[in-house]
């Protein structure tokens, strides 16, 4: 039955409802509260398209769920690619933006990228503790790289510098959170191995050539040492809780010995020890004493009772004098002030290190396999910054 009805109105101010279909019968309007016509939807099978309302709405019956899924995958892939493009443009826009997101200037970032991209192209993604990432010649296995080398490097540095979690980074770069973790574990270990040479022990001549003015009273100073602690998630085992508990920080921590040159560059960084260990024991077990030469002068805080250890190496310890329940003399007060003025720079170096937000707050135990590499990499990146003490 062929019919064409125009001008059916459900009220005084309603829009015109037009139905154009040669095979659809026009049903009478049933009077009621809503005055809404009821249409038998079985008639839709007789036509390829049915236009209802003032705009044409086409119903295609040959669309399957597989087609919709494929469309969604392509759409999300294109959307993720566009999002990554915007992120990279924002991060690498200028020096200030690159410094904010990665901790490096734009020139240093591209210098590292160009020098490491050949080795990075042969990396194998982290698959657990058994993965050997030191063998950079190993052929990559697994699926095709989802992100470019530049994007992976930016993602890793953003997680280090800004402390962004994997789920958020996955949303930003259009990948899964598990993929972000694999990339981060792989690149952190890789960069730590490649950049650890930046943390090197200087010679006396190198120090003498650039000795800052605040060290003019201590010309024999080889380095300034201090210990720093990083909060970690509370372990589940009581024995682990006990050995990582720091009575100074009142938290479960890991502790590291750090030494800087008079110019503020990090020249020694120990492995991480449990928070309950003493400063003296870290000095003895970290390998720091092996770097000391006869005639060196080591500046430290009063807590480092290592004068005897240094004496065996022919070196001296320069710490503020003790009061011993009596007032310090004028000479001792002057010496304390001069030492404090020079030693404060090790605190500034530690502060620069902890500008990497991943080392702030509580470090989750899931990062335990690469915590040493994270701290080492952050320290190496600090040495790529401008000179701390002039």
Q: Where are the domains of the chain?
A: 1-62, 65-197, 199-383
* Mean of pLDDT over the chain: 81
- The rounded percent of the chain whose pLDDT value lies above 70 is 75
What is the average per-residue pLDDT within 76-81? 60
- Report pLDDT for 144: 64
Cβ neighbourhood burial of 188 (10 Å; 0-12, 13-18, 19+):
buried
Residue 203 is classified by DSSP as P
- Could you tell me if 295 and 315 are in contact, meaning their C-beta atoms sit under 8 angstroms apart? yes
CA-CA-CA-CA dihedral for 297, 302, 306, 311, to nearest 10: 40
- Could you tell me if 259 and 289 are in contact, meaning their C-beta atoms sit under 8 angstroms apart? no
Strand ranges (DSSP E) for 167-281?
A: 221-231, 245-246, 251-260, 266-269, 273-274
pLDDT band at 11, cuts 50/70/90?
A: very low
What is the average per-residue pLDDT within 124-151? 65
Euclidean distance between CA atoms 140 and 121, whole angstroms: 8
Closest CA to 232 of 121, 366, 344: 366
Closest CA to 126 of 380, 366, 376, 382: 366
- Report pLDDT for 153: 96
Q: Is the pLDDT of residue 61 over 50?
A: no
- Report pLDDT for 322: 80
pLDDT band at 356, cuts 50/70/90?
A: very high
- Report pLDDT for 187: 96
Closest CA to 101 of 86, 112, 90: 90
C-alpha distances in angstroms, 211 versus 64, 248, 264, 300, 316?
Answer: 74, 33, 10, 17, 19
Can you give the C-alpha Rg of the chain in angstroms?
33
Euclidean distance between CA atoms 159 and 358, whole angstroms: 7
Q: Is the pLDDT of residue 228 over 70?
A: yes
Closest CA to 363 of 232, 243, 239: 232
Instruction: Give 199-383's CATH code, choosing from 3.30.420.10, 2.40.50.140, 1.10.1060.10, 3.40.50.10860.
Output: 3.30.420.10
Pairing of strands 266-269, 245-246: unpaired
Q: Backbone dihedral region of 246: left (phi > 0), alpha (psi from -120 to 50 degrees) or beta?
A: beta
Q: Which of 59-68, 260-269, 272-281 is the least confident region? A: 59-68
What is the average per-residue pLDDT within 334-343? 91
Euclidean distance between CA atoms 258 and 255, whole angstroms: 10
HSE of 323, CA atoms in CB hemisphere, 13 A: 5
Closest CA to 122 of 134, 105, 114: 134
């Amino acid at each position: 039955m062929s019919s064409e009805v125009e001008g059916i109105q459900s009220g005084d101010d309603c829009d015109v409802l037009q139905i154009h279909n040669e095979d659809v019968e026009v049903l009478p309007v049933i009077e009621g509260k809503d005055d809404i016509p009821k249409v038998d939807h079985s008639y839709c099978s007789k036509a390829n398209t049915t236009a209802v309302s003032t705009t044409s709405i086409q119903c295609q019956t040959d669309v399957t769920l597989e087609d919709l899924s494929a469309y969604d995958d392509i759409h999300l892939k294109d959307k993720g690619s566009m999002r990554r493009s915007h992120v990279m443009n924002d991060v690498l826009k200028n020096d200030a933006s690159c410094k904010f997101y990665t901790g490096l200037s734009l020139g240093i970032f591209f210098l590292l990228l160009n020098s490491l991209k050949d080795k990075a192209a042969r990396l194998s993604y982290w698959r657990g503790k058994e993965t050997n990432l030191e063998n950079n010649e190993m052929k990559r296995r697994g699926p095709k790289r989802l992100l470019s080398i530049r994007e992976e490097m930016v993602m890793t540095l953003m997680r280090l510098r800004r402390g962004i979690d994997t789920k958020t980074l996955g949303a930003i770069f259009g990948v899964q959170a598990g993929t972000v973790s694999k990339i981060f574990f792989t690149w952190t270990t890789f960069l730590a191995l490649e950049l650890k040479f930046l943390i090197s022990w200087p010679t006396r001549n190198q120090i003498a050539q650039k000795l800052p003015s605040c060290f003019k009273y201590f010309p024999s100073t080889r380095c300034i040492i201090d210990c720093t602690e990083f909060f970690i998630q509370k372990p589940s085992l009581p024995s682990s809780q006990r050995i990582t508990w720091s009575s100074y920080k009142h938290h479960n921590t890991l502790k590291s010995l750090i030494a800087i040159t008079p110019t503020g560059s990090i020249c020694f960084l120990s492995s991480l020890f449990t928070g309950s260990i003493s400063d003296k024991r870290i000095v003895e077990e970290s390998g720091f004493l092996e770097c000391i030469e006869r005639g060196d002068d080591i500046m430290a805080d009063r807590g480092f009772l290592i004068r005897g250890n240094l004496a065996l190496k022919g070196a001296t310890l320069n710490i503020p004098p003790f009061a011993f329940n009596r007032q310090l003399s004028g000479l001792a007060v002057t010496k304390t002030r001069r030492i404090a003025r020079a030693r404060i720079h090790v605190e500034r170096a530690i502060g620069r290190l902890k500008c990497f937000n991943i080392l702030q707050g509580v470090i989750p135990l899931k990062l335990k396999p690469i915590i040493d590499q994270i701290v080492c990499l952050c320290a190496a990146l600090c040495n790529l910054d401008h000179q701390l003490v002039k």
